[in-house]
Copies of this chain bind each other. A is one copy, B any other.
Amino acid sequence: MEATTARDLSGRLDLCCINTATLGHREPIARVAQRVAAAGFTWITPWRQEIDERRPERDAEALRAAGLQVSGYCRTTALAHDTAAQRQQAIDDNRRALDVAAVLGARQLIAVVGGLADSSRDIDGCRLHILRGLEALMPTIEATGVRVSLEPLHPFYAADRSVLNTIAQARTWCETLDPLGRHFGIAIDAYHVWWDPALVSSIDDAGALIGAFHVCDWLRHTHEPLLDRGMMGDGVIDLKALRALVEHAGYTGLVEVEIFSRDHWWREDPDVVLRTCRERLQTAC
């Protein structure tokens, strides 16, 4: 990777964000928000299952009362399905997510686009269905002013979680959906992209489209591809070099911690998790 330098995060928790998945969704969002704020953070990214989407105002108020701003809202539901009715249902559901994101004051909805339709072996066909589904969100995106950040997931998830798998592919999708770059961006998660042989050029090409940067770590002998992610510094990703690439490409946004760790961090005291995140953001990222 290039030897450019990233921003100094020491004492800059205002540049950092906690994605609530890091705490394992064990407590109500109001309690999570209090903990996140008490640990010194001012930004949060909640998940849909934590929010009462029929009456999101109350949860929005709880976040504000804790002194937090909302960076992103996680996340879209899968868009490739076998039938047109199922695809329409997914579009409607994602429109609701955009509406709720707006109520929360979120800057962006994180898009995890989904894997293959249930009975499909046609990955390119599913990708086209998903593009059409994203396109159908445009009126709601314009009405709400919430940007959609397409998150390429690790190729391990291509079958069942996301057929969007590289930064270069996300850039192509953004350019297809939104040539002016106003409504769609890219969420880069270190865990999903660190292996990419085209990492340097694809980050550079993504440039101003980069709308979010997520960190955790890839454990060298990870035993499980979904819920065994590591704390920053405990794995093999050169996070400082990766962040330098992203910032060299023009990214000035938040560094967001998102760790899925069923057997380790999700069993740990949430305040210990947050203290560890705070320390590692300043030393290992």
Interface residue from B120, B156, B160, B196 paired with A221 (Cβ < 8 Å): B160
A237 lies within 8 A of B121 (CB): yes
Q: In the complex, identify which listed stretch (A93-101, A165-173, A269-277) lies at the interface while the others stay far away.
A: A165-173
The reply to whether A156 and B159 contact each other, CB–CB distance below 8 Å, is no
Q: How far is the CA of A120 from the CA of B123 in the complex (A)?
A: 35
Pair A195/B158 contact, Cβ less than 8 Å: yes
Q: Interface size (A, Cβ < 8 Å)? A: 36
A238 CB contacts on chain B under 8 angstroms: 121-123
Pairwise interchain contact A168-B197, C-beta atoms closer than 8 A: yes
Given A116-B220, A123-B236, A168-B197, list of 14 further CB < 8 A pairs?
A123-B194, A123-B195, A123-B238, A127-B197, A155-B156, A155-B195, A159-B218, A159-B220, A159-B221, A159-B235, A160-B220, A160-B221, A164-B197, A165-B197
Q: Could you list which residues of chain A lie within 8 angstroms of chain B, going by C-beta atoms?
A: 1, 116, 120-124, 127, 154-156, 158-160, 163-166, 168-169, 172, 194-198, 218-222, 225, 235-238
CA distance A196 to B163 in the complex (A): 9
For residue A154, which residue of chain B has the nearest CB?
B155
Contact B154 A194 (CB under 8 A): no
Supply 18 A–B pairs (Cβ within 8 Å), ascending by A.
A1-B124, A116-B220, A121-B236, A121-B237, A121-B238, A122-B238, A123-B195, A123-B238, A154-B155, A155-B195, A156-B156, A158-B195, A159-B235, A159-B236, A160-B220, A164-B197, A169-B198, A225-B225
Looking at A156, A169, A222, which has the most chain B CB atoms within 10 Å of its CB?
A156
How many angstroms between the C-alpha atoms of A90 and B221 in the bound complex?
21
User: A118: nearest residue on chain B (CB-CB)?
Assistant: B220
